[in-house]
Amino acid sequence: MPSTLQKRLLDQPYQGYAYAYPHKMAYRHFPDPIPLQEVWRDEDKSSLYLYVHLPFCEMRCGFCNLFTTTNPKDDLVSRYLKAVDLQLASTGEALGDSMRFSRGAFGGGTPSFLSVDELNALFESINRHLGPTPAGMPASFELSPATVTKEKLQLLKARGITRLSIGVQSFLHEETKVLGRPQSIPQVHDTLTLMRQAGFPVMNIDLIYGAEIQTPESWVESIRMALKYQPEELYLYPLYVRPLTGLEKIGRTPADHRLELFRAGRDYLRENGYRQISMRLFRKESAPDENDSLEGPVYCCQEDGMVGIGAGARSYTNDIHYCTEYAVGRSGIQEIIDDYIGRSRDDHSHAVFGCRLSEEEQRRRFIMKSLLRAEGLSFADYDSQFNGALLSDFPELLDLKTEGLASLSDLKIELNDAGIERSDTIGPWLFSTEMTTRMEHYELT
Ligand SMILES: C[S@@+](CC[C@H](N)C(=O)[O-])C[C@H]1O[C@@H](n2cnc3c(N)ncnc32)[C@H](O)[C@@H]1O
Ligand code: SF4
Tell me which residue range forms the domain holding 320. Answer: 34-356
Would you write out the chain's pLDDT as a tens digit for each of its 445 residues? 777 999 999 999 999 998 889 998 899 999 999 999 999 999 999 999 999 999 999 999 999 999 999 989 889 999 999 999 999 999 999 999 889 999 999 999 999 999 999 999 999 999 999 987 888 899 999 999 999 999 999 999 999 999 999 999 999 999 999 999 999 999 999 999 999 999 999 999 999 999 999 999 999 999 999 999 999 999 999 999 999 999 999 999 999 999 999 999 999 999 999 999 999 999 999 886 654 544 433 323 345 699 999 999 999 999 999 998 888 888 899 999 999 999 999 999 999 999 999 999 999 999 999 999 999 999 999 999 999 999 999 999 999 999 999 999 999 999 999 999 999 999 999 999 999 999 888 877 7
Shared-domain flag, residues 242 and 366: no
What whole-number distance in Å separates Cα of residue 443 and Cα of residue 326?
10
The verdict on the CB of residue 110 being under 6 Å from ligand 1 is yes
> Which residue owns the Cα nearest ligand 1 atom 6?
110
The verdict on the CB of residue 17 being under 6 Å from ligand 1 is no
Shared-domain flag, residues 267 and 403: no
Pairing of strands 163-169, 139-143: parallel
Residue 393's Cβ-count burial label (10 Å; 0-12, 13-18, 19+) is middle
Shared-domain flag, residues 389 and 271: no
Ligand 2, pocket residues at CB < 6 Å? 57, 59-61, 64, 66, 68, 108-110, 144, 167
Q: What is the pTM of this model?
A: 0.95
Q: Is residue 391 part of a domain?
A: yes
**Helix (H, G, I), strand (E, B), or coil: what is residue 167?**
strand
What whole-number distance in Å separates Cα of residue 155 and Cα of residue 324?
29
Neighbours of 331 (CB within 10 A): 10
Point out the ligand nearest to the CA of residue 239. 1
Report whether 171 contacts 205 (CB < 8 A).
no
Shared-domain flag, residues 248 and 318: yes
What whole-number distance in Å separates Cα of residue 123 and Cα of residue 329?
29
Shared-domain flag, residues 229 and 294: yes
Q: How many domains does the chain have?
A: 2
Alpha helices in 240-389 (DSSP H): 246-249, 258-271, 330-341, 359-371, 379-386
* Residue 92 CA to its chain's centroid (Å): 24
Element (H, E) at 192: helix 185-197
Range list of β-strands (E), 196-246 = 202-209, 233-238
Shared-domain flag, residues 90 and 188: yes
Question: What one-letter code names the amino acid at 280?
Answer: R
Shared-domain flag, residues 214 and 345: yes
Shared-domain flag, residues 402 and 348: no
Question: What one-letter code names the amino acid at 55?
Answer: P
Q: Residue 428: give its domain's CATH number.
A: 1.10.10.920
Q: Residue 249: give its domain's CATH number.
A: 3.20.20.70
What whole-number distance in Å separates Cα of residue 178 and Cα of residue 255?
12
